[in-house]
C-alpha cells in the first residue's frame, strides 16, 4: 500500500518505529474500519508520534523530515535546485498519482477502452512517464544528483501502484535505471522485507519492465 | 482555473507579478498548446521567475513562500500546529482535490449515477466535507487560528472546482463561515478582480450554498 513510502522514509532517516499492518476489507479492498478510529480519513498510511497523529503520505513525509530529518532528503529554499525538488515532489502528489488513481477508478467503473476520457487519461500517463524519463536521463534522481523525498513519493506510483493500473515501462531507460538505483538502496530493501512480507506479489515490481498482471482493484 | 490560487498567494504575500491569461482550447477545454512551450507539463498555473520556470500549484506555492514569504502563510516544523498545517495542506493536494477530479472524469465518461464506483466517490467527497466542516467549526482556519497556504490550496476545491463537479455546501456551517472569512480578505478580492475578469460566472461562487449549475467539462 502507499504506506511503503513511510516505512522507506523511516528506514532512510534511521527513525525507530513500530509497524502495524492492517489488512484491507475483503469486500471493498478499502481501508479497514478500525483505521477510522485512529484518524478521521480512515486511510493508511497514518502515523502516531506521541500526541501527534497524522494521515496523508505527503504530510507524514513533511512531518518526519521536519522533526527528525535534520535537512536530509529535502532541499532547502536557498539551494538552487529547490524549485526542481518542489516541482517533482508536488507533481508526484498532485498530478501523477492523481491521474493514475483516476485511471484506476475509470477502469473499475467499466468505461470502455475506446472511450475518449480513458484515452485522454492514458495519454496523460504516457506524457508523465516521458517527462520523468527525460529528467532521469539527465539527472540521477528527480531533484538532481541527490536522492530526496521526491523520489520516495514517486517510486510507488511506477511500482506497486502499477499492479492496480498496469502500464508498461519498456523503452523508458531513464526510469528503468532510476528504479534499479532505488532497488540497490539498503533502506528500500529493508522496507520491502518488513512492509511487504504480508503481500505476496512474486517478483518485487521495481524491476519489472512489462505491464504487470493487474491485482484486484484498488 | 487552478491558477487563481497563485494569484491569490502573490496578493497575500505582496509579490509583484505580471499575469498572463491563456484561454482553454475550445474543443477539449484543456490547456492551450502554447503553454507546452513554457513547461513540459503544459498546464496552468505555471510561473516564470528569472531563470526558474515552475508548474504545479503546490510546487509554485512552496517556491513563492520559500523565496518571498519570509515565513508567512506556512508553519515551521518547530511550531506545535506544524502537523496540522502539513496534514491539511497535503490532504487538499493529495486527496480532496484528487477525489474531486476523479469524480469529474467519471461523470464525463458517462458512468451512471447508480454505479457503485460513482457512489463511492460521492461518499468520499461527503466524508471529506464533513471532516473539513468539523475542523472549521473548531478553528478559524484549517491549520489553526492563522490563515495559511493550506487554506489557499483548499478554497479553490469548494468554490471554482465545484462549478465542474457540483456538490452542495448546505448544512456545512463551518465551511460556510470559512468561505465568508475568505471572501472578506482584501487579497482574495483583488484576485477575483484581476484573475477572473475573463470568466463570467455570475455570482462569485464563494458564497453560493447550493450545488452550482455545472459549467462545461473540465
B73/chain A closest Cα distance in angstroms:
15
| Residues of B whose CB is below 8 A from A142 | none
Can you tell me the distance from the alpha carbon of A134 to that of A139, in angstroms, rounded to the nearest whole number? 9
pLDDT digits (tens, 9 = 90+) for B94-115: 999 999 999 999 999 999 999 9
Nearest-CB residue to B83 (from A63, A83, A134): A63
Q: pLDDT value at position A218?
A: 42
Closest A-chain CA to B128: A41
A80/chain B closest Cα distance in angstroms:
10
| Residues of A whose CB is below 8 A from B55 | 87, 91
B49/chain A closest Cα distance in angstroms:
11
pLDDT over 90, % of chain A: 69
B160/chain A closest Cα distance in angstroms:
17
Which 22-61 residues of chain B touch chain A by CB within 8 A? 28, 40-43, 52, 54-60
Residue B16 pLDDT > 90: yes
The residue that leads in pLDDT, B188 or B168, is: B188
| Residues of A whose CB is below 8 A from B153 | none
Q: How confident is the model at residue B26 (pLDDT cuts 50, 70, 90)?
A: low
* ipTM of predicted complex: 0.91
What is the CA A95 to chain-centroid distance, rounded? Answer: 12
> What's domain A81-185's architecture?
Up-down Bundle (1.20)
Which 71-130 residues of chain A touch chain B by CB within 8 A? 76-77, 82-83, 86-87, 89-91, 93-95, 97-98, 101-102, 105-106, 108-111, 115, 117-118, 120-121, 127
pTM comes to 0.92
Span A27-53, average pLDDT: 82
A186/chain B closest Cα distance in angstroms:
28
Span B37-64, average pLDDT: 93
Nearest-CB residue to A40 (from B63, B98, B131): B131
Residue B163 pLDDT > 90: no
Do B117 and A134 count as a contact with CB atoms less than 8 A apart? no
pLDDT digits (tens, 9 = 90+) for A53-98: 999 999 999 999 999 999 999 999 999 999 999 999 999 999 999 9
Q: pLDDT value at position A203?
A: 47
| Residues of A whose CB is below 8 A from B115 | 109-110
Lowest-confidence range among A178-182, A197-201, B127-131, B169-173? A197-201
| Residues of A whose CB is below 8 A from B58 | 86, 90, 93-94
Residue A27 pLDDT > 60: no
Q: How confident is the model at residue B218 (pLDDT cuts 50, 70, 90)?
A: very low
Flag whether residue A67 sits within 8 Å of chain B, measured between CB atoms. Answer: yes
Can you tell me the distance from the alpha carbon of A9 to that of A2, in angstroms, rounded to the nearest whole number? 12
Residue A207 pLDDT > 70: no
Do A54 and B118 count as a contact with CB atoms less than 8 A apart? no
Q: pLDDT value at position A30?
A: 64
Q: pLDDT value at position A43?
A: 87
Q: pLDDT value at position B37?
A: 84
Q: pLDDT value at position B200?
A: 52
Q: pLDDT value at position A204?
A: 59
| Residues of B whose CB is below 8 A from A60 | 86
The angle at the Cα of B119, spanning B113 to B125, to the nearest 5 degrees, equals: 120
Residue B28 pLDDT > 70: no
Closest A-chain CA to B67: A77
| Residues of A whose CB is below 8 A from B136 | none
What is each CA distance from B118 to A26, A106, A168, B66, in whole angstroms?
20, 10, 28, 39
Can you tell me the distance from the alpha carbon of B215 to that of A150, in angstroms, rounded to the nearest whole number? 35
Q: How confident is the model at residue A163 (pLDDT cuts 50, 70, 90)?
A: confident
pLDDT digits (tens, 9 = 90+) for B180-202: 999 999 999 999 888 766 555 54
Q: How confident is the model at residue A217 (pLDDT cuts 50, 70, 90)?
A: very low
The residue that leads in pLDDT, B98 or B213, is: B98
Can you tell me the distance from the alpha carbon of A217 to that of A108, in angstroms, rounded to the nearest whole number? 7
The residue that leads in pLDDT, A27 or B60, is: B60
Q: In terms of Cα–Cα distance, which of B28, B67, B31 is closest to B46?
A: B31
CB-based contact B99:B125 (threshold 8 Å):
yes
Between chain A and chain B, how many beta carbons pairs sit less than 8 Å apart?
136
B102, HSE (Cβ side, Cα atoms, 13 Å): 30
A103/chain B closest Cα distance in angstroms:
8
Domain ranges of chain A: 81-185
Nearest-CB residue to A58 (from B56, B93, B108): B93
Can you tell me the distance from the alpha carbon of B75 to that of B185, in angstroms, rounded to the nearest whole number? 20
pLDDT over 70, % of chain B: 86
Extract the C-alpha cell encoding A67.
522533526
Across B106-139, b (16+ Cβ under 10 Å) vs e yields bbbbebeeeeebbebbbebbeebbebbbebbeeb
pLDDT over 70, % of chain A: 86
The total number of residues written for chain B in this structure? 218
Residue A28 pLDDT > 80: no
Interface test with B, best of A95, A114, A131 (most B CBs within 10 A): A95
Amino acid at each position: 500500500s502507499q504506506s511503503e513510502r513511510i516505512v522507506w522514509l523511516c528506514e532512510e532517516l534511521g527513525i525507530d518505529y513500530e509497524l502495524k499492518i492492517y489488512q484491507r476489507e475483503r469486500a471493498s479492498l478499502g481501508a479497514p474500519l478500525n483505521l477510522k478510529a485512529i484518524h478521521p480519513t480512515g486511510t493508511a498510511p497514518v502515523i502516531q508520534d506521541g500526541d501527534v497523529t497524522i494521515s496523508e503520505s505527503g504530510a507524514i513525509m513533511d512531518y518526519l523530515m521536519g522533526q527528525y530529518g535534520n535537512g536530509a532528503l529535502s532541499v532547502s529554499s536557498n539551494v538552487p535546485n529547490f524549485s526542481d525538488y518542489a516541482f517533482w515532489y508536488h507533481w508526484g502528489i498532485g498530478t501523477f498519482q492523481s491521474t493514475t488513481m483516476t485511471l484506476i477508478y475509470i477502469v473499475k467503473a467499466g468505461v470502455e477502452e475506446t472511450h475518449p476520457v480513458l484515452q485522454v487519461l492514458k495519454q496523460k500517463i504516457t506524457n508523465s512517464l516521458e517527462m520523468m524519463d527525460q529528467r532521469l536521463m539527465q539527472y540521477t534522481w528527480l531533484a538532481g544528483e541527490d536522492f530526496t523525498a521526491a523520489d520516495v513519493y514517486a517510486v510507488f506510483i511506477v511500482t506497486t501502484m502499477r499492479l492496480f493500473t498496469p502500464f508498461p515501462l519498456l523503452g523508458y531507460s531513464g526510469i528503468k535505471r532510476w528504479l534499479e538505483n532505488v532497488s540497490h538502496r539498503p533502506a528500500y530493501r529493508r522496507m520491502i522485507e518488513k512492509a511487504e512480507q504480508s503481500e505476496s506479489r512474486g517478483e518485487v515490481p521495481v524491476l519489472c519492465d512489462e505491464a504487470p498482471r493487474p491485482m484486484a482493484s484498488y
